[in-house]
């Protein structure tokens, strides 16, 4: 398949390209497009064949449900069978933006899109180009992240091109995304509402609007043995090819421990890597040391994380150690929870305390 790649301009006033993307989607084709969180791999959410094509292009199991993207809030009533008061309050507070809500699905949404579930995930992105494209596509675009299954979600157009060229009809290139981690998912079909995937919209922000909100108990588990409630969260996502282990503790001790392990790995003939904060990156003696950002600069850490995981793959690093991130903001509920959750998943929940 030939893939048309279009670079969007600043402000996304690319009417011709966005309308063309909308037409492709309407006629059952696939378009990879930017959002404020990560790039998405879009198809018409109301067309079962489009959803099947999405699973095929990603190489993803078809029991993993897709998020339906809207361009205006009132379309909630078309995809959801019931729209509870909570959904309207959250839409008012956080849409357009990086929040996905789980609701009972209407008959309009095919089971192919929801992975066979009776519920539907809905989100209204804030990215201007994405919203126009969704409108031109008829209003309902199913989109998982635009990576091949098992790879980190793409935060740069070059990663989308790497994974999706030849597999989709069009790629809209808008450079680097804003946030770098996928949207927060909140399940409104249970009481109290549950966060199934932490993100930029934090549990604390949701609690302020709704009162009581809980975390899915598996989100930060170190063992990773219980299955998370969002079907997609159970797969070993975001995993680099190399073995990744998180090392937690006081910085000098972490560095001493990691350097010892790095020497062992080197003796075993492995190429070694470290993910470190700017403050401590000089302490490590690895083949590749990736500085992810200043420890307290969580927006930078969030935006860099997936790119770094991909870089390790490109550089064929076999043994990777990461410092632990995001713990400072845990009580305040910043981006730290989302960063820690993704890092734990990338590491297959391997954590060593020193």
Q: Which of 35, 126, 272, 324 binds ligand TXA (CB under 6 A)?
A: 35
Q: Under the criterion CB under 6 A, does residue 121 sit at the interface with ligand TXA?
A: yes
Decide: 144 and 66 in contact? Cβ < 8 Å.
yes
Q: Under the criterion CB under 6 A, does residue 144 sit at the interface with ligand TXA?
A: yes
What is the distance in angstroms between the CA of the first residue and the CA of the last residue of the chain? Answer: 51
CB neighbour list of residue 85: distance below 8 Å, 6 or more residues apart: none
**Residue 245 binding: pick among ligand TXA, Mg ion, none (C-beta 5-8 Å cut-off by kind):** none
**Residue 239 binding: pick among ligand TXA, Mg ion, none (C-beta 5-8 Å cut-off by kind):** none
- CB atoms near residue 62 (< 10 Å): 14
Maximal CA-CA distance, the chain: 61
Q: Which of 12, 145, 155, 324 binds Mg ion (CB under 5 A)?
A: 145
Residue 48: in which H helix or E strand, if any?
Answer: helix 48-58
Q: Under the criterion CB under 6 A, does residue 230 sit at the interface with ligand TXA?
A: yes
Of 64 and 281, the one with the shorter C-beta distance to ligand TXA is 64
**Which class for 165: exposed (0-12), middle (13-18), buried (19 or more C-beta within 10 A)?**
middle
Of 37 and 145, the one with the shorter C-beta distance to Mg ion is 145
Q: Under the criterion CB under 6 A, does residue 43 sit at the interface with ligand TXA?
A: no
Distance CA 190, CA 186 (A): 10
Q: Under the criterion CB under 6 A, does residue 38 sit at the interface with ligand TXA?
A: yes
Decide: 159 and 122 in contact? Cβ < 8 Å.
no
- CB atoms near residue 237 (< 10 Å): 18
User: Minimum distance between the CB of residue 17 and ligand TXA, rounded to whole angstroms?
Assistant: 18
User: Minimum distance between the CB of residue 174 and Mg ion, rounded to whole angstroms?
Assistant: 18
Q: Among 10-18, 78-86, 140-148, 282-290, which window interacts with ligand TXA (CB under 6 A)?
A: 140-148
Which tokens go with 73?
């809030």
Residues of span 232-291 touching ligand TXA by CB under 6 A: 232-233
User: Minimum distance between the CB of residue 322 and ligand TXA, rounded to whole angstroms?
Assistant: 22
Long-range contacts of 85-92 (CB under 8 A, 24+ apart): 86/188, 86/193, 86/210, 87/188, 89/209, 89/210, 90/186, 90/188, 90/206, 90/209, 90/210, 91/124
Of 54 and 247, the one with the shorter C-beta distance to Mg ion is 54
**Residue 184 binding: pick among ligand TXA, Mg ion, none (C-beta 5-8 Å cut-off by kind):** none
Decide: 315 and 238 in contact? Cβ < 8 Å.
no
Residues of span 172-201 touching ligand TXA by CB under 6 A: 182-183, 185, 196
- Which residues are near ligand TXA by CB under 6 A? 35, 37-38, 40, 64-67, 100, 102, 114, 117, 119-121, 123, 143-145, 182-183, 185, 196, 230-233
């Amino acid at each position: 398949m030939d893939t048309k790649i279009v670079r969007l301009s600043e402000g996304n006033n690319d009417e011709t390209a966005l309308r063309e993307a909308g037409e492709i989607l309407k006629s059952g084709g696939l378009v990879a497009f930017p959002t404020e969180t990560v790039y998405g791999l879009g198809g018409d959410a109301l067309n079962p064949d489009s959803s099947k094509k999405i699973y095929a292009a990603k190489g993803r199991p078809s029991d993993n449900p897709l998020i339906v993207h809207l361009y205006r809030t009132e379309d909630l009533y078309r995809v959801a069978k019931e729209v509870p008061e909570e959904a309207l309050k959250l839409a008012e507070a956080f849409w357009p933006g990086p929040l996905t809500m789980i609701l009972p699905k209407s008959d309009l949404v095919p089971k192919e899109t929801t992975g066979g579930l009776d519920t539907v995930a809905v989100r209204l992105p804030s990215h201007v180009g994405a919203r126009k494209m969704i409108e031109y596509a008829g209003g309902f675009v199913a989109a998982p992240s635009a990576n091949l299954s098992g790879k980190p979600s793409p935060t740069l157009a070059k990663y989308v091109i790497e994974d999706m060229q030849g597999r989709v009809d069009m790629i809209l290139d808008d450079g680097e995304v804003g946030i770098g981690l996928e949207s927060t998912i909140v399940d409104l079909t249970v009481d109290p509402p549950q966060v199934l995937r932490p993100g930029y919209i934090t549990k604390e922000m949701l609690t302020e609007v709704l009162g009581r909100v809980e975390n899915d108990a598996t989100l930060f588990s170190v063992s990773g043995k219980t299955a998370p409630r969002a079907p997609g969260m159970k797969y070993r996502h975001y995993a680099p090819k190399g073995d990744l282990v998180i090392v937690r503790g006081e910085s000098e001790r972490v560095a001493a421990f990691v350097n010892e392990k790095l020497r062992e790995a080197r003796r075993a003939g492995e190429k070694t890597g470290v993910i470190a904060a700017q403050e401590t990156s000089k302490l490590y003696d690895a083949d590749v040391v990736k500085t992810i950002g200043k420890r307290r600069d969580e927006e930078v850490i969030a935006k860099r994380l997936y790119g770094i995981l991909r870089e390790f793959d490109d550089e064929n690093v076999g043994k990777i150690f990461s410092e632990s991130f995001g713990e400072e903001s845990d009580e305040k509920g910043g981006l730290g929870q989302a960063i820690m959750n993704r890092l734990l998943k990338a590491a297959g929940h391997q954590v060593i305390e020193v």
